Amino acid sequence: MKIIHKISELKKITKNTNKPIGLVPTMGALHQGHASLIKKSVEDDNFTIVSIFVNPVQFGINEDFDKYPRTLEKDAKLCEELGADIVFSPSIDEMYQDTKELTLVCPPYSSINKLCGKSRPGHFDGVATVVSKLFNITKCSKAYFGEKDAQQLFIIQKMVKDLNFDITIIPCPIVREPDGLALSSRNSYLDEKARQDALKLSKALNYAKELWQKGIKNKQILCDSALKILEGTIVDYIEIVNPETFEDWEEKDKNALMLIAAKIPTTNTRLIDNMELR
């Protein structure tokens, strides 16, 4: 496996691959959730590129860009063990000549004026822009994204359709710790006490799912019940959407996706999680 930092070098290699290219875009600090995406790409018999790039354009000014974990050596070892062909880890200068004078890919307002897009202005412009760049740089035919970032996945799928990227997006299920905590690179910020609070996200989702299965389909009751379990965290949002449209869920909709974002106060860590109610 090669670790590549330069776009030109990557292009030289990808020009000569005879297998389709599978891209796993990441910001590093890889965990078993990322591992499941890499495994899937390798199993699909792709030439697998894992990009590791902490993208400054998707972080707000008061967010955790500076402290975001950077563990390239460890990440590369995992990628190699999993059978990836290349780790692409460019510098900021390699990716952006000037982040202030940058052509951005901007998802439609209706997809970003809610949930994470509402609390993180500019975030999804940054994500859509860097993902488009990675698609163009790697010339991948498939790209693997985790369902934990459900709104991100929805936005990327729409972008691929709207901008005619000839790429198949492969959604991969959330990977959880045995006690239910969804894996996230930001879990590394949690001490034991904070971890107990973080667990409330999956507990709240599971509780709402239980109520749903008992026949309670009232949005207010479901959200209020989940909210009680989240006590002790600072809830950013708790919503139920139609996963096909990301519009507010209505009783006529077949599928329902509950999403939560909350800050864990002692460590100021913002976590997200989601679950289909069915």
Q: Which residues are catalytic?
A: 34
Q: Measured between alpha carbons, how far is 34 from 39 in angstroms, rounded to an integer?
A: 9
- Residues 38-67 contacting ligand PAF, CB under 6 A: 55, 58
Closer residue to ligand PAF (CB): 68 or 212: 68
Closer residue to ligand PAF (CB): 23 or 223: 23
Which span (127-135, 170-178, 237-245, 261-269) binds ligand PAF, by CB under 6 A?
127-135
Which span (62-70, 90-98, 123-131, 268-276) binds ligand PAF, by CB under 6 A?
123-131
**Measuring CA to CA, which residue among 4, 20, 18 is closest to residue 166?**
20
Q: Measured between alpha carbons, how far is 4 from 1 in angstroms, rounded to an integer?
A: 10
Cα separation values, 78 from 86, 89, 261, Å: 12, 14, 29
CB of 101 to ligand PAF, least distance (A): 20
3-state secondary structure of 186: helix
Which span (80-88, 125-133, 158-166, 212-220) binds ligand PAF, by CB under 6 A?
125-133
Q: Under the criterion CB under 6 A, does residue 36 sit at the interface with ligand PAF?
A: no
CB of 127 to ligand PAF, least distance (A): 5
- Residues 129-168 contacting ligand PAF, CB under 6 A: 130-131, 149, 152
**Token output for 97:** 């000549």
How far, in whole angstroms, is CA 172 from its chain's centroid? 10
- Residues 11-30 contacting ligand PAF, CB under 6 A: 25-27
Could you write out the DSSP letters of every residue in 19-82?
Answer: SPEEEEEE-S---HHHHHHHHHHHHTT-EEEEEE---GGGS-TTSSTTTS---HHHHHHHHHHH
Interacting residue ranges for ligand PAF, rule: CB under 6 A: 25-27, 55, 58, 127, 130-131, 149, 152
